[in-house]
Amino acid sequence: MASKSEKPWAGRFRQATNPEVEKFTASIHFDCRLYRHDIEGSIAHARMLRRQGLLSKEEMEAIVKGLQKIRAEIEAGTFEFRLEDEDIHMAIEKALIAKIGKVGAKLHTGRSRNDQIALDMRLYLREEIEKTRDLLLAFRSTLKHLAQREMDTIIPGYTHLQKAQPVLLAHFFLAYDAMFARDEERLREAYQRVNVMPLGAGALAGSGLPLDREYVAKLLNFPRVSENSMDTVADRDFVVEFIFVASLIMMHLSRLSEDLIIWSTGEFDYLRIEDSFATGSSLMPQKKNPDVAELVRGKTGRVYGHLMAILTVLKGLPMTYNRDLQEDKEALFDVVDTLKASLSIVSTLLKHVDFNRERMEEEANKGFITATDLVEYLVIKGVPFRDAHEIVGKVVAYCLEKEKTFSDLTLREFKKFHPSFGPDVREILSARESVRRKKTIGGTSPERVKEQLRK
Helix (H, G, I), strand (E, B) or coil at 90: helix
Q: Which helix (H) or strand (E) holds 144?
A: helix 113-149
Does 306 bind a second copy (CB under 8 A)? Our answer is: yes
> Other C-beta atoms within 10 Å of 245: how many?
25
What is the distance between the alpha carbons of residues 141 and 164, in angstroms, rounded to a whole number?
28
Nearer to a second copy, 326 or 420 (CB): 326
Helix (H, G, I), strand (E, B) or coil at 271: strand
Using CB under 8 A, pick the residue from 119, 310, 339, 429 that binds a second copy: 310
Helix (H, G, I), strand (E, B) or coil at 212: coil
Does 331 bind a second copy (CB under 8 A)? Our answer is: yes
Does 308 bind a second copy (CB under 8 A)? Our answer is: yes
Catalytic residues: 160, 281
Residues 246-265 binding a second copy (CB under 8 A) are: 247-248, 251, 254-255, 257-259, 261-262, 264-265
Q: Note the helical H segments in 26-112.
A: 28-31, 35-51, 57-76, 88-100
Using CB under 8 A, pick the residue from 305, 357, 415, 426 that binds a second copy: 305
Integer Rg of the chain from CA: 31
Does 307 bind a second copy (CB under 8 A)? Our answer is: yes
Size of the site for a second copy (CB under 8 A): 205
Task: Give every CB contact of residue 207 below 8 A, 6+ residues apart in sequence.
Answer: 110, 200
Q: CB of 133: closest distance to a second copy in angstroms?
A: 16
Residue 214 CB-half CA count within 13 A: 1
Q: CB of 127: closest distance to a second copy in angstroms?
A: 21
Using CB under 8 A, pick the residue from 137, 138, 317, 411 that binds a second copy: 317
Nearer to a second copy, 72 or 427 (CB): 427
Residues 207-236 binding a second copy (CB under 8 A) are: 207-211, 213-214, 225-235
Does 335 bind a second copy (CB under 8 A)? Our answer is: no
Does 61 bind a second copy (CB under 8 A)? Our answer is: no
Does 146 bind a second copy (CB under 8 A)? Our answer is: no
Q: Are 293 and 349 in contact (CB under 8 A)?
A: yes
What is the distance between the alpha carbons of residues 331 and 311, in angstroms, rounded to a whole number?
11
Residue 357 CB-half CA count within 13 A: 9
Using CB under 8 A, pick the residue from 57, 77, 78, 318 that binds a second copy: 318
Using CB under 8 A, pick the residue from 68, 141, 221, 344 that binds a second copy: 344
